[in-house]
Structure formats: C-alpha cells, structure tokens
C-alpha cells in the first residue's frame, strides 16, 4: 500500500507535521502489525521526527540547523538561490527516509513525536510517499 | 516479531550500545534472511550506528554534537531544561530510525559497528523498539 | 534479494553516486512494488540522498560537513588518523541506512536525487548492501 501525500509549505523554512495524514493512512490500511515507511523525494527538504507539542521546539530545530548551515553567498552551487544551496546540505544532515512500527493497528510513536517534513527552501509544492507493509 | 528493549541511561549524554540485545533478538527469531528495524520513540534521544571498540569514539561523537548544539539559555523552548531543548535538536540531526540487513541468521553489521542509543538528556528510563521481518 | 556492491573511493572525502548500480539491481529483481533498503557497514562513511546534477552540490555538502567537523588534532580517538576520528562523527550525522520505495518496477526517487556513499576517510575499498523486498 502506497500513498502520495501532496501539500504546500508556506515559508522558506518550516516543519510541516504530517502525522495525522500518515496515521489516517495506517488506520485505513486495516493492517494490525507491520511497518510504515516515509520517504521525501526532495533535495532541499527532509524528514525530522521530533516533538511538535510546543511550537518552540520546531522553531529551535529550524533555527539551530540554520545557524549551523547559514544561507549565504559562498556556496559552490550557484545555479539556484543561496537558500537552495543551503537546503541541499540541511537535507543531507536530517535525511529523507524514516521507518515506523505499526502494532495493534497503530503507529508506535512516542507521545510527543510528530512526523515532520522539513522545508528548507520554500514555499513550494511538496510531496512525501508513505508505504505500509504487513509483517 | 517485535521487541521492546527497556533500559536506563546513566548520564546526561551517553551512547548506550544495544547491539548485544538486538543480536540476541535476531538469533531468537530463527529468521535466516530479512530485515531488522530499530526505532527510538524519544525526542531527546536518537540512534547512532558507529564504532564502539575504542570508547573514545563515542566520546568524540557526543562531544562534537555538543559542540555543534551547545546546551545554553537562548533556546525558544524553555518549558523544560536547556539540555532538553538542545536534545530535541541533536535528536533531529542523528535521527530515530535505522534498518539492518539479516543474512545467514545474523545481522550484517560492519565489524566495529555498534547500535547506539544516543542519550541527550539523561539519565532517564528509555526504550527502543526492534522489529524483524523475513524476506 | 540481497546485493553487495563493492567499489573504491578515490579521495579523502567524496560522494560516490551508486544510483545506477541500485537501479540496475531493482530492474534485475523484476519486482513491481516493494522497498529497497541500502546499508553502509562502515563507520567513517555514510549515506546521503541528495542532488548530483550539479557537481557543486556534492562539493557543498562535503565542504559544509567538513566545516562543521574539522579534521584536527584534538579528538579523543587518536588510535587512527585525525580524518578517521572526524569521519566517525560525520558518519554519525548523515547515518548509514536508507529506505526507498519501488513502484511500477522502478525506484521512486526525486528527479535529481542520487544515492550517494559519503566517503569521509578515503581512499579505501568500500561496500554497501542493497536489499529488496516485495510488498
């Protein structure tokens, strides 16, 4: 079972929580036990699994990653904008694939874990793939 | 097959090697070929797969991540402690899910690879999930 | 289905694109839908999924990671070279496992995504494992 989730990011940098969409997909699948894979096909975005309960946590995550890889003019890749060049590096650090366990028909997430698409060069039309296998 | 491994971290920052527990789970499963998925449900901890043979390597890994994301007072998230706020960012960088190949009844790890839970805000009671599927 | 891909890196730091080898493995498998797992058994190398169309993007990625974790003399791990010690940290940040979706007989990669082995302490003989499961 494969689902493509389309959405739009609304800022240059943003963590978009896709937990509800992915949990709905798991619920619809009627699978009791298995795995759910999430994949980001973008190179200036990535996947972060972290807390979203306090909106300041996503803000810290984005702010710190931006502090580590500042958007600036001295990147080698100058075909696109400086935030695009920085975004490729940020995406490489957070990664683009994640795996989740399904048990008793539900995603086994920690209680404050969201499944966050990390936008590093928005706003843009984005998509992620979610795939479920029983097992 | 799903196993929840409970353990306690013993320091604010620590890499806890869970390789033996996960290898034992793979052995008990009697599965000859397949995949083993490891998942960390915490948001101030993560998973690192790296060398543990020289204890100075885990020390370097923790020290460098702490240098990149110093525990300090200017995080936006101030509901918990500064090390909690820093831990969310560190967890986002190392990630919380990992996949391993099982072949000939064994995990195909590199000879010095450990499966390390990265504690960024301990000491605490922690757990990870390990799941095996044949294939 | 498991494939071990052997190759040699040619520089101290390099992103080696293994997309063609992995796509060929997926094609040979004749599997229409499923998942492809890629695993790096090394502790001074890792996996990065990012753009390779402009060679300056891999250059930026390596350069920025090297800026974050400079090769220098003050690592705790001094059994090997300073670039080995730095490589362990870099590998921990980018990670060693990745998952890809197979649909309609093909890897669902973004149009500019490569599957890049990140060499952080080369040149060396290296290998990665690719495993496919239907589903």
What pLDDT is attached to residue C18? 98
CA distance C129 to B108: 9
Model pLDDT for residues B52-93, shown as the tens digit of each residue: 999 999 999 999 999 999 999 999 999 899 999 999 999 999
pLDDT bucket at B97, cuts 50 / 70 / 90: very high
Crossing angle of helices C82-94 and B56-68, in 10° steps, is: 60
The distance between the two most distant Cα atoms of chain B, rounded to a whole number of Å, is 51
**Residue A28 backbone zone (phi > 0: left; psi -120 to 50: alpha; other: beta):** alpha
Please count the other Cβ atoms lying within 10 Å of the Cβ belonging to residue C27: 12
Cut 0.80: pTM above it: yes
Q: Taking CB atoms and an 8 Å limit, are A98 and B96 in contact across chains?
A: yes
Least Cα separation, residue A31 to chain C (angstroms): 13
Which residues in chain A are closer than 8 Å to C95, comparing Cβ atoms?
Answer: 95
Beta-sheet strand order (sheet of A97-103): A2-8, A125-134, A34-39, A97-103, A106-107
Phi, psi dihedral angles at B131 (to 5 degrees): -135, 135
CA distance A16 to A24: 16
Q: Taking CB atoms and an 8 Å limit, are B98 and C93 in contact across chains?
A: no
Share of chain B above pLDDT 70, in %: 100
| A35, A59, A109: residue with CB nearest B133 | A35
What is the arithmetic mean of pLDDT over C12-21? 98
What pLDDT is attached to residue B83? 93
Least Cα separation, residue A39 to chain C (angstroms): 7
The structure tokens listed for A134 are: 């029983």
Q: Taking CB atoms and an 8 Å limit, are B56 and C42 in contact across chains?
A: no
What pLDDT is attached to residue A11? 97
Put simply, whether A92 touches B (Cβ < 8 Å) is no
**What part of A 34-73 touches C (C-beta under 8 Å)?**
37, 39, 41-43, 68-69
Least Cα separation, residue B89 to chain C (angstroms): 12
CB B62 within 8 A of CB B68: no
CA distance C90 to C82: 12
Which residues in chain C are closer than 8 Å to A89, comparing Cβ atoms?
Answer: 60-61, 64-65
Least Cα separation, residue C27 to chain B (angstroms): 18
What pLDDT is attached to residue A105? 98
CA distance A44 to A10: 14
What is the arithmetic mean of pLDDT over A62-90? 95
pLDDT bucket at C14, cuts 50 / 70 / 90: very high
What is the arithmetic mean of pLDDT over B12-32? 98
Percentages helix, strand, coil for chain B (3-state, rounded to 5) are 25, 35, 35
Q: What is the mean pLDDT of chain C?
A: 97
Put simply, whether A74 touches B (Cβ < 8 Å) is no
Q: Is A92 helix (H, G, I), strand (E, B) or coil?
A: helix
The single-letter DSSP state of residue B105 is T
């Amino acid at each position: 079972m494969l689902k493509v989730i389309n959405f739009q990011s609304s800022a240059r940098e943003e963590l978009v929580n896709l937990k509800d969409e992915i949990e709905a997909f798991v619920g619809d699948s009627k699978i009791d036990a298995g795995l759910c894979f999430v994949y980001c096909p973008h190179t200036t975005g990535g996947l972060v699994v972290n807390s979203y309960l306090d909106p300041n946590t996503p803000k810290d995550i984005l702010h710190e990653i931006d502090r580590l890889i500042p958007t600036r003019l001295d990147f080698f890749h100058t075909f696109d904008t400086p935030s695009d060049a920085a975004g490729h590096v940020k995406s490489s650090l957070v990664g683009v694939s994640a795996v989740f366990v399904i048990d008793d028909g539900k995603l086994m997430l920690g209680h404050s874990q969201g499944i966050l698409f990390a936008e590093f060069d928005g706003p843009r039309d984005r998509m992620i793939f979610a795939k479920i296998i029983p097992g």
